[in-house]
Amino acid sequence: MPLPKPKDKEKKNDFVSRCITDLTDKKEFKSQDQRIAVCYSQYKDAKAVAEEVIGSGDDECLSFSYQKTYKGLKRSELKDSDFLFPDKRSFPIVSPEDVRDAINNFGRMSGDMPYETFIKKLYNKAKSKGPEFVNAIPNSTRDKYKLS
In which domain, by residue range, is 39 found? 12-63
Exposure string of 73-87, with b = 16+ CB inside 10 Å and e = fewer, is eeeeebeeebbbbee
Same domain, 79 and 130: yes
Most confident range (mean pLDDT) of 13-22, 46-55, 65-74, 97-106 is 13-22
Same domain, 22 and 56: yes
Same domain, 73 and 118: yes
Report how far residue 69's alpha carbon sits from residue 61's, in angstroms, rounded to the nearest whole number. 25
Same domain, 74 and 140: yes
In the chain, the percentage of residues whose pLDDT exceeds 90 is 59
Q: How many helices (H) and strands (E) does the chain have?
A: 6, 6
**Is pLDDT of 45 > 80?**
yes
Report how far residue 120's alpha carbon sits from residue 17's, in angstroms, rounded to the nearest whole number. 28
Same domain, 80 and 118: yes
pLDDT in tens, 9-26: 899 999 999 999 999 988
In a domain, 3, yes or no: no
Same domain, 45 and 80: no
In a domain, 5, yes or no: no
